[in-house]
Amino acid sequence: MDTRTRMTRSRFRFGIATALTAAVLFTSTACAGGAEQEEAGTAPNGASSNTTLALAVTAAPASLDPAQLQEGQQTYVWGSVFDTLLYVDNDGKLQPNAAESWKFSDDGLTLTLTLREGMTFSNGDPVTAKDVAGTLDRTRTTPGQQQSKLAAVASIEAPDDRTVVLKLKQPEPALLTNLALAAGVIGDADTLNEKTTALDPTTSGPYTLDKAATVAGTTYVLNRRDDYWNAKAYPFKTVTVRVIQDRTAVFNALQAGELDAGNVEPAQVKQIEAAGFKTAKVEAQAVANLVLADREGTILKPLADERVRKAINMAFDREKMVQQVLRGGGKATMQIFNPKGAAYDPALEGTYKFDPTAAKKLMADAGYADGFDVTMPATVISKSFEPLITQALNDIGIRVTWEPVPPQNAAAAVSSKKYPMIFFLDGLNVTQRELQNNFSDSGFLNPFGSKYPELTELISKVSLETDEAKAAELYKEINAFVVKEALDAPLFYVGTIWATKDGIEYLGDGSNTMSTIRAFNATK
């Protein structure tokens, strides 16, 4: 391999790390009941109550105001100081949390949650249904990243101190999962509108922010609340979250003993293990997807033709991209769904073979023998991949112009309806959230609001399905429809590797990719 080739691949690997960092900055079940589970309330392996944890993240929380929370690695901070109504465990399963049980009406339009007794805020006041309803209603009516997660909610009631009732406009399969994440946090209704909420809110979770030791934007020190209702589920007495965007700096901080946990590159694994760290690889943390946003041809008519969308899928040599660019840090795919989730189907991976000649014939059959032009947003996420995408599409007659978009406008560019095709690196999630994000009316990656009767019917069915096995079958049907209709052009999964010092264990396997302290355990 010549020097130029090595340098090019090195730049690609660096670019992937940068794109993953950017994805963190921007990122993106209809169960009938939830009996309390004893194992959910205990710290794994009976861990010590005095262990500490220091980890690195790439982005500081933009705000701790419940209506303005952002997901991604910012969750390590706000997810520790706020309780959520439900939570998603390390196996990707929905579990009771502040709500000890829940029930949907038969028509899926009423959700009743029962809160557990004895919960308190960090100031000692009791957590009541009024606080839950007030927080949810404020998030539902306040512009922010979480507002769309509650778009299906028409009204919220608190008939007594332990009961919360949500009335829905239509069934929403992602609602319960949303209530386990940022949209489901519980704030103190009496103080939510105070100016201090963004930086120092009254919180309901297992940790409080150590104001004296915290430097906003740089270091967040969290102290465990011994009076928290489920303190035994959190083995770390103190959690320190440091904001470090540079991967090399994280690696150096691990080796220097300044961090107990952090992400490392594949090439760094042997060295970090030699230093006494354990590593855990998650095969799929995010999916690189060429989003065919204008599926109905509103501004780019060719995309309304499924032959064109299929031709686009056939234009990419996914395996070669993984081998030459990711260098073992990912996996080729034709699916947008988490490979650990209910919708994923290995049989779908062979749907489109890399075949530019056949793709060009499909383009000609659709009436585009001469191809067409498309403008796509050039963002911090797409930058490293643009040459590959440009070449692959050009080989079948699609001429790409990349329009520069400032980093702060990258998310707005996706939702602007200006770009019919968008390259995006989307953090994986549980199936319900992935479905909402990509295909609901308010989905971030469905900016044109594209609809298909068959897909709508399947989503409606799964919204009302309470049997987990039957729901999984429906999710696979949804995935098969998405792939066979070529509604997007997924390219590959990008993985991640966690390094943890002796005495700290990373429990995740990719089933739940959300950033949570509960993915770590103290083993000493």
Of 308, 306, 326, 310, the residue nearest 318 (C-alpha): 326
Cα distances from 210 to residues 50, 73, 213, 223, 259, in angstroms, run 17, 19, 6, 6, 18
Decide if 229 is inside a domain: yes
Decide if 364 is inside a domain: yes
Look at strands 422-427 and 153-160 and give their pairing: unpaired
Decide if 279 is inside a domain: no
Q: Which helix (H) or strand (E) holds 123?
A: none
Decide if 181 is inside a domain: yes
Tokens 């009996």 — which residue?
Answer: 35
Decide if 258 is inside a domain: no
> Secondary structure of 431-491 in the HEC alphabet?
HHHHHHHHHCCCCCCCCCCCCCHHHHHHHHHHHHCCCHHHHHHHHHHHHHHHHHCCCCEEE
Cα distances from 433 to residues 62, 88, 165, 439, in angstroms, run 22, 12, 21, 10
Distance CA 139, CA 136 (A): 5
Residue type at 342? A
Decide if 456 is inside a domain: yes
Distance CA 145, CA 306 (A): 32
Distance CA 365, CA 382 (A): 30
Distance CA 85, CA 97 (A): 5
Contact between 281 and 509 under an 8 Å Cβ cutoff? The reply is no
Tell me, yes or no, whether 178 and 306 share the same domain. Answer: no
Contact between 292 and 482 under an 8 Å Cβ cutoff? The reply is no
Tell me, yes or no, whether 517 and 463 share the same domain. Answer: no
Contact between 421 and 291 under an 8 Å Cβ cutoff? The reply is yes
The structural domain count of the chain equals 2
Residue type at 231? A
Tell me, yes or no, whether 312 and 419 share the same domain. Answer: yes
CATH, residue 228: 3.40.190.10
Tell me, yes or no, whether 44 and 70 share the same domain. Answer: yes
CATH, residue 478: 3.10.105.10
Tell me, yes or no, whether 181 and 217 share the same domain. Answer: yes
Edge to edge, what strands does the sheet with 99-104 contain?
A: 99-104, 110-115, 163-168, 153-160
Output DSSP code: residue 373.
E
Distance CA 85, CA 100 (A): 8
Tell me, yes or no, whether 290 and 415 share the same domain. Answer: yes
Domain that holds residue 213: 39-244+501-522
Decide if 103 is inside a domain: yes
Which residues are 377's β-sheet partners? 403
Contact between 59 and 25 under an 8 Å Cβ cutoff? The reply is yes
Distance CA 406, CA 378 (A): 9
User: Which stretches of the chain score pLDDT less than 70?
Assistant: 1-49, 328
239 Cβ partners below 8 Å, 6+ apart?
52, 53, 54, 55, 76, 80, 207, 221, 222, 224, 517
**pLDDT tens profile 210-245:** 999 999 999 999 999 999 999 999 999 999 999 998
Tell me, yes or no, whether 294 and 395 share the same domain. Answer: yes
Contact between 494 and 331 under an 8 Å Cβ cutoff? The reply is no
**pLDDT tens profile 400-439:** 999 999 988 888 899 999 999 999 999 899 999 999 999 9
DSSP for 63-101?
Answer: ---GGG---STTHHHHHHHS-BSEEE-TTS-EEESSEEE
Output DSSP code: residue 304.
G
Of 92, 36, 504, the residue nearest 230 (C-alpha): 36
Long-range contacts, stretch 206-212, CB < 8 angstroms, 24+ apart: 206/80, 206/83, 206/230, 206/231, 206/233, 206/234, 207/80, 207/81, 207/234, 207/239, 207/517, 208/81, 208/122, 209/64, 209/81, 210/238
Tell me, yes or no, whether 375 and 515 share the same domain. Answer: no
**pLDDT tens profile 78-113:** 999 999 999 999 999 999 999 999 999 999 999 999
Tell me, yes or no, whether 357 and 506 share the same domain. Answer: no
Tell me, yes or no, whether 477 and 518 share the same domain. Answer: no
Distance CA 33, CA 28 (A): 27
Residue type at 442? S
Tell me, yes or no, whether 222 and 320 share the same domain. Answer: no
Tell me, yes or no, whether 409 and 447 share the same domain. Answer: yes
Which residues are 41's β-sheet partners? none
Structure tokens at 230: 């489920």
CA 53 to chain centre: 23
φ/ψ of 21, rounded to 5, equals -60, -45
Which residues are 505's β-sheet partners? 521
Distance CA 89, CA 123 (A): 28
Decide if 262 is inside a domain: no
Residue type at 503? G
Cα distances from 30 to residues 22, 98, 311, 432, in angstroms, run 31, 18, 35, 9
